[in-house]
Amino acid sequence: MMGITLTADQIRNAPPPVRQWIEQEVIASLGLAPQAPAAAPPQAAHLVACSVEDAGRVLDQIQSVLPAVNVFFEFGRPGIGYGQPAVMAFRLIDIVNHTRLQNVSQVMACLEMINQALTQVKSDPSARFCGFDNEGHCFIAPQTQASIATLWQTMIARQQAGSPGEAGGGVAPAA
């Protein structure tokens, strides 16, 4: 067996396929590789674009489970858009880090809860909030990402408007 040491600059400057391979090897060696989700038949499940109202109704259904709420709002961050039709991609390991969960399996459990909530909101058993690939990425519709970002901004604005005297509260209008 042979080992190789790479600097952060060497990894950063490596071609994307090499960086992805390194990422996969590190994830596998740390035991953070996601469990394969139970896949629906190819034609049975489909990603659904959520409106702000849909996102709010999903949030209402998961609000009692704080880790799921944290994972949900991770999708309000900008993702990487690609494909035709376009989807927004998020790395599961980044979601683990941002939400301070312990592993990808916990994120997957939260995503399953979010998928189930959307199924109920849409009254469609084949509707999916997100999909996955075998390289540790999660995909959502671009409209869903925009809707979650809007929902977050609306909630923050309401909170600030409701508490102008508190630290971080709203700013009094100029006279």
Q: Look at residue 134 in the predicted model and tell me its pLDDT.
A: 87
**Phi and psi (nearest 5°) for 28?**
-65, -40
pTM score: 0.69
How far is residue 65 CA from its own chain's centroid? 16
CA of 173: how far to CAs of 88, 155, 165, in Å? Answer: 38, 20, 13
Residue 108 predicted with pLDDT over 90:
yes
* Mean pLDDT of all residues belonging to the chain: 82
| Per-residue pLDDT tens over the stretch 34-45 | 544 444 333 346
Return the closest-CA partner of residue 74 out of 51, 93, 57, 61.
93
Q: What average pLDDT does the segment 17-31 reach?
A: 65
CA of 67: how far to CAs of 24, 78, 147, in Å? Answer: 25, 20, 20
pLDDT band at 171 (very low <50, low <70, confident <90, very high): very low
Q: What average pLDDT does the segment 96-122 reach?
A: 96
Residue 174 predicted with pLDDT over 50:
no
Residue 53 predicted with pLDDT over 80:
yes
Which residue reads 């301070």 in tokens?
100
Domain ranges in the chain are 44-156
Q: Look at residue 37 in the predicted model and tell me its pLDDT.
A: 43
Half-sphere exposure of 130 (CA within 13 A, CB side): 30
Is residue 129 within 8 Å of 147, Cβ to Cβ?
A: no
Return the closest-CA partner of residue 29 out of 10, 8, 3.
3
Which residue reads 């459990």 in tokens?
109
Return the closest-CA partner of residue 88 out of 97, 96, 104, 77.
77
Is residue 108 within 8 Å of 96, Cβ to Cβ?
A: no
Return the closest-CA partner of residue 73 out of 93, 86, 92, 55.
55
pLDDT band at 126 (very low <50, low <70, confident <90, very high): very high
Residue 64 predicted with pLDDT over 70:
yes
